[in-house]
A = this chain, B = another copy of it.
Amino acid sequence: MLRRFGSARAALETVPQLARRGERSRTVAAVPRAEAETELSALDRAGARLICWGEPLYPRALTAIEDAPPILTVLGRAELLPRPMVAVVGARNASANGRRLSPELAASLGEGGVVVISGLARGIDAAAHLGALETGSVAVVAGGIDVVYPEENRGLYDALARQGAIIAELPLGTEPQARHFPRRNRIISGMALGVVVVEAAARSGSLITVRFALEQGRDVFAVPGSPLDPRCRGCNDLLRRGAILTENADDVLSQLTVQLRDAPPAPPPTPTLTATDYVRIEPPHPIADEDGLEMILERLSPTPVAVDELVRQCHLSAAAVATLLLELELAGRVERHPGNLVSLR
């Protein structure tokens, strides 16, 4: 929408109008200014800040994923976020071996120049965060940024807020619920160049992160373990399916050589920008006319069709089709699918 309307302000003003035109049953209204300001003040009091998609501090790799969060809440050293990152995740009930190996691995990855991301869970996650605390450690939490979960990791949370960073997608005060964890995991893999699984039982949460990593085209690394330990079953299974066998940080860093070499330098520290400060990507397009809307509706069905195909068939500009589809989407009449496909609801 920023790209379509040229600024956040213009988008916010136009959306309700578009939604009306799209004959959507329920009204679309922007969050009232006062409510937004209250939330910003609360964030400020919590020592946190917002980072929006497109801002220099927004995690680089995350920008590219299909459902990148438009806004992240960040506590701690936001300057860590644009640096190359690797996720280290694993079992909560980690073995003694896993608890020893993951901080070593995380520390060596840090020495190798990457920031380590994990999920602030017990076990492997916590150990990995600790190992990389000196070099760069980022936790992505499932609830609001001010909600410490699990409680036993409060000390680690405080350390990360001081020395590392904590990231949340959901608003302040949100208590994490079961359905939030997979959504959170997509951010962990999405921020990372690769995901290292240290220990994981079959059907564990770490394997959800791996599924996202594969969808997002990230490298998946797995630490092998004894077949006698069920906590290694997930990793051994990943290895069987082609994950990169990982005994130490070199196994990871050597695989990521190209990405690390091509990583742009971190941006200089900047003051927080507001949306209107920097979103000047494209001039606003005139809202497309009713004829265009009709043409597109005629060509849509419940079977998904490529947006490019619509552009070609309607003889409209890609920008005009995008605006019309946005309008129909806001009106609840169009559904989007992966691969830039759309269908009629």
Question: Which residues of A approach B to under 8 Å, CB–CB?
Answer: 97, 100-101, 223-228, 232-233, 236, 239-240, 245-248
Contact = CB atoms under 8 A, between A and B. Distances in A.
Q: Which 4 A-B pairs have the closest CB atoms?
A: A224-B224, A227-B247, A240-B245, A97-B226
Contacts of A248: 227
A233 B97 CA distance: 15
A259 B226 CA distance: 28
Nearest to A236: B224
A187 to B, nearest CB: 28
A302 to B, nearest CB: 41
28 contacts: A97-B226, A97-B228, A100-B228, A101-B226, A101-B227, A101-B228, A223-B226, A223-B227, A224-B224, A224-B225, A224-B226, A224-B227, A224-B232, A224-B236, A224-B239, A224-B245, A225-B225, A225-B226, A226-B226, A227-B246, A227-B247, A227-B248, A233-B247, A236-B245, A236-B247, A239-B239, A239-B245, A240-B245
Contacts of A239: 224, 239, 245
A330 to B, nearest CB: 49
A221 to B, nearest CB: 12
A233 B227 CA distance: 15
Contacts of A247: 227, 233, 236
Contacts of A224: 224-227, 232, 236, 239, 245
Contacts of A236: 224, 245, 247
Nearest to A199: B226
A226 B94 CA distance: 13
Given A223-B226, A227-B247, 15 more contacts: A97-B226, A101-B227, A223-B227, A224-B224, A224-B225, A224-B226, A224-B239, A225-B226, A226-B226, A227-B246, A233-B247, A236-B247, A239-B239, A239-B245, A240-B245
